[in-house]
Chains A and B, each alone.
Chain A
Amino acid sequence: MTTSATAPPESAVAADAVVQLRGITRDFGSGPVVRDLDLTVRRGEFMALLGPSGCGKTTLLRMIAGYLEPTAGQILINGADAVRTPPRLRNIGMVFQSYALFPHMSVTENVAFGLRMRKVARAERARRVREALDLVGLGDLGDRRPAQLSGGQQQRVALARAVVLRPDVLLLDEPLSNLDARLRVQLRDELGRVQRETGLTTVLVTHDQEEALAVADRIVLLSRGRIAQEGSPRAVFERPRSRFVAEFLGYENVFELPGRGLVAVRPEHVEVVPAEGPAPPGARALDGTLVATTYRGTYSTATAVVPLPGGDVRLQGVTGSPEPAPGSPVRVVLPEAAIVALDPEESE
């Protein structure tokens, strides 16, 4: 079930809503970066704020954390108005993109810092720090300094430091973007595991759709300060509603299909075959000319130009061997099940 961008009835949501944003706008002086946005983060869920750079996702996160004040709108944390509460009085745990580990303190001291601020007794402090470090798999590295750790280890310390406080909400600002691809996959799985084990309400900001799809319970896709679409990963991915969402998620074929309106089809679902014989049942076939193919090992991708009433359209698909020659007539086959109808575009 997908939730729409407008807030559902308050009574149904208030009970398990940890963070509620209503009508949030933020303007830095040259136009709003976040516009009249409503968002609810539910207890225990892992939400991903996904979008291209400049869409407002980090601004939103910093407003939830309290480092930024909204120009207009309400922020409720656990039902209480939080707009005027500074970050240190909000019970949040934040992991920064640069990790922000205190360089002059050891790993243990870093993780213990928040507990010290809350005047937790030494014995309990040590116990909880130990717990948090074990949770992220760094139990033996307590005495090291951040400079002596690898990027992945530093990120885990940052996570432990945030988690040890049992915050109302855990906020992660692109925590994996400084890591290489292999490490990123490894650590995002760790992230998911930690979230499941602790049950912490979590909000992750990322521009990597693969990351969001892999870990989140709910994805909120942002574009230019507004919510473009939100829902479960499967719902958002399999049924994008606008050109922006479809293209962001990799639907390279977004075009006006005669009789169907604006549609999106994934290249992986499109077959480009030599134009001969009858069209297969249960699919739309469009005749066109092959432009080029690219060999990718188990399959090849193909680009074809298809003349349509609205003009020529370039479509991407897959093709088997032998690949058709550039310039030869081909048929672009779009299975019905793969055709996703998009909302008609508003003329701006």
Chain B
Amino acid sequence: MTRRPVFTLITAAAVVFLLFPIVVVVGVGLSAGTVLTFPPEGVSLRWFADAVAYEPFRSALWTSVVVAVLATVLALAVGVPATYAIHRRSPRGRHALQLLFVSPLIVPELVLGFALFQLFMVEAGFDARTALVAGHAVLLLPYTVRVTGASLQQADPALEDAAAGLGAGPLTTFFRITVPVIAPGVVAATMLSLLTSFNNVPLSLMLTSRRVETLPVAMLEYVQTSFTPMIAAVSTLLLLLTIGIALLTERLVGFQKVFGRSAS
């Protein structure tokens, strides 16, 4: 089937439209001047140096990392057993349960953030970090359940029966058979969760305090008040980090698992 030139044109235009922000961000980050222009005036690494040294970004980065790791661990710890129960135990009300675990995605994040803010922080007095971890875990749960669920569904359910028939007890079956088989799914879910948590803006925005904020929130504040290329430099660094994580996931698991059918 011949590809008409008009499609090549549309596709190229789309790719340019979607990817040029990255070019702009990197370009501005490398600029030598102090004004936000593209193309940049001159090339320099000064803004990268400044970004790395900028204290609010440093502590925000640390907060983001801690929150992402803790929230991911929590989401996996409660999500994987739940997924296992749904796909291997045929509980009553399977559909309702699946809906329940995906439900946090249905509501606007900002509103959820507000709800958690006024209940957890204003009313119950939790500190920002705790609220962030809890809120992020709630947001990450749908991802962990869905991605590991897909992995479990693809695995042969007879595997666990086979292990049982060969004399393995429930714990042995879980650790020697189930876990290795769903490991790729769990890895994919972990990477996706870490990234999602790290990049999150609306929910985190509502749950920050004067001393505790995540990196995207710090960046947002900076963009609204200062107009230097430093924000572009930080963004470029994050971009590199994201590419790194994506490549790592690809190495460990293959894109098939994360993107499903779409990639093949």
Q: Which residues of A approach B to under 8 Å, CB–CB?
A: 65-67, 86-88, 92-94, 96-98, 100, 102-104, 113-114, 117-118, 161, 165
The chain A residue sitting closest to B159, CB to CB, is A100
Known: A103-B181, A104-B180, A117-B172. A65 touches B165 (CB 8 A): yes
Interface size on B, residues (CB 8 A): 16
Known: A87-B161, A94-B162. A104 touches B181 (CB 8 A): yes
B163 contact from A86, A93, A113, Cβ within 8 A: A113
CB distance from A99 to the nearest CB of B (A): 8
A92 to B167, CA, bound (A): 9
Known: A98-B156, A100-B156. A67 touches B169 (CB 8 A): no
Across chains A and B, which 5 residue pairs bring their CB atoms closest together, nearest first? A117-B167, A114-B166, A100-B158, A100-B162, A104-B180
Which residues of chain B have C-beta atoms less than 8 A from A94's C-beta?
Answer: 161-162, 165
The chain A residue sitting closest to B161, CB to CB, is A67
New A-B contacts (6) at CB < 8 Å, excluding given A96-B158, A118-B167:
A67-B161, A88-B168, A94-B161, A98-B158, A100-B156, A113-B163
Interface of B is mostly: helix
Q: Which residues of B approach A to under 8 Å, CB–CB?
A: 156, 158-159, 161-169, 172, 177, 180-181
Can you give 12 contacting A-B residue pairs, CB < 8 Å? A65-B165, A88-B167, A92-B165, A93-B165, A94-B161, A96-B162, A102-B163, A113-B163, A114-B166, A114-B167, A118-B167, A165-B167
Which residues of chain B have C-beta atoms less than 8 A from A165's C-beta?
Answer: 166-167
A119 to B193, CA, bound (A): 40
CB distance from B54 to the nearest CB of A (A): 46
A100 to B155, CA, bound (A): 10
Which residues of chain A have C-beta atoms less than 8 A from B168's C-beta?
Answer: 88, 113, 117
Q: Are B169 and A88 in contact (CB under 8 A)?
A: yes
Which residues of chain A have C-beta atoms less than 8 A from B158's C-beta?
Answer: 96-98, 100
Which residues of chain B have C-beta atoms less than 8 A from A88's C-beta?
Answer: 164-169
Which residues of chain A have C-beta atoms less than 8 A from B163's C-beta?
Answer: 102, 113
Known: A88-B166, A161-B166. A102 touches B159 (CB 8 A): yes
Which residues of chain A have C-beta atoms less than 8 A from B159's C-beta?
Answer: 100, 102
B161 contact from A96, A102, A117, Cβ within 8 A: A96
Q: Are B165 and A102 in contact (CB under 8 A)?
A: no
Which residues of chain B have C-beta atoms less than 8 A from A100's C-beta?
Answer: 156, 158-159, 161-162
Which residues of chain B have C-beta atoms less than 8 A from A65's C-beta?
Answer: 165
CB distance from A106 to the nearest CB of B (A): 13
CB distance from A167 to the nearest CB of B (A): 9
